[in-house]
Amino acid sequence: MSDKCRYKPEIQQMMFVSGETNDPPTETTAVIEDIVRSQVVEMLLQATAQAARRGSRSIAIEDLIFLIRHDRAKVNRLRTYLSWKDVRKNAKDQEGGAVEGADLLEDVAGAAAAAPAATGPADPVGPKMKYRKSKVKLPWDLTNMFPEPVPDAEDDDGAAGPDEDELEASLATLQRLKSADERTRAMTKEEYVHWSECRQASFTFRKGKRFREWAGISALTDSKPNDDIIDILGFLTFEIVAVLTEEAIKVKEAEDEMEMRRSKRTKTRKTERFLFDPPDEDQRPVLAKHVTEAFRNLQRSKPKQQALRNFSGGLVRTRTAVI
């Protein structure tokens, strides 16, 4: 907690992309950095425990995904992100880096846009090349529970459409895309360039060593996590900052609304706007207390977890929830 913020520009960029237009003060970014770091530590600890349950000493990709398995939208986005990485690697191997058209980009533009496009605008995949989008197999998925391979739901024509969770997952993703779309609708070219640069902000892209040192990974796990794990952590940290910012903005708006109602009740109305008035509501950035309150909201335990404790006292042991 005593070390100074090392990721302030990245966090600021991520907050900008997630909806915060003003410059956040250093305190806010420091709080967010602390929260992110503690979340990373928690994720690594839980993933290590999960790997130990499996009987393996090193963390695998599935261990990390297991932690966020309840959030289908995020899982899908993560899988898409990982498949893009695979594609890029295969392309580099096969083509030697030749940059071709970006048809593939358009196919999956909708799904991948929410993830930080670490690939950048130049995606060296040509339409001629066969690409294998290897999806990460989730061992806890229903389709993987049978000894025989179960055909995908998409191939089956007579099967029912995607279930409720899938709908909701895609809904959340679409929601995000929609808000991003609305925001960038009125931007000029330079602004949009700036926006796309900010969207590529990542904790781990090309800074793997720095990230490992910052998170103190050597103290957490015995085995050195491979680069895939670090990339996934980078993705998840972006998600954390995005979710925190969105929640903090909601908290701030609710507070401002309450302030307005209270001022309205006491009938002190601002009649005119003067030239040297203090800045408007738009200019007030998200403060640290909003972020902490947002974090607290996200750590809320569901009622189903506490249902059996009704009518009895005692300490409820809670675990830090991975956002």
**Interacting residue with another protein among 225, 293, 322, 323 (CB under 8 A):** 293
- Residue ranges of E strands in the chain: none
**Interacting residue with another protein among 54, 137, 309, 319 (CB under 8 A):** 309
C-alpha 18 chain-centroid distance: 10
**Interacting residue with another protein among 210, 284, 296, 319 (CB under 8 A):** 296
Regarding 311 and contact with another protein (CB under 8 A), the answer is yes
CB of 289 to another protein, least distance (A): 9
Spatial distance between the Cα atoms of 54 and 66, rounded to a whole number of angstroms: 12
- When the beta carbons of 107 and 165 are compared against another protein, the nearer one is 165
DSSP letters of 49-102? Answer: HHHHHHT-SS--HHHHHHHTTT-HHHHHHHHHHHHHHHHHHHHHHHHSS-----
The two three-digit tokens of residue 120, written as one number? 């950048």
**Interacting residue with another protein among 141, 168, 197, 227 (CB under 8 A):** 168
Regarding 308 and contact with another protein (CB under 8 A), the answer is no
Region 182-221 residues binding another protein, contact defined as CB under 8 A: none
- Could you tell me which of 13, 65, 74, 7 has the C-alpha nearest to residue 35? 7
Region 248-267 residues binding another protein, contact defined as CB under 8 A: 251, 254-255, 257-258, 261-262
Spatial distance between the Cα atoms of 115 and 79, rounded to a whole number of angstroms: 10
**Interacting residue with another protein among 164, 182, 190, 280 (CB under 8 A):** 164
Regarding 247 and contact with another protein (CB under 8 A), the answer is no
DSSP state of 142: G
- Could you tell me which of 127, 37, 136, 15 has the C-alpha nearest to residue 86? 136
Q: Which residues contact another protein (rule: CB under 8 A)?
A: 164, 167-168, 171, 251, 254-255, 257-258, 261-262, 292-293, 296-297, 300, 302-303, 306, 309-316
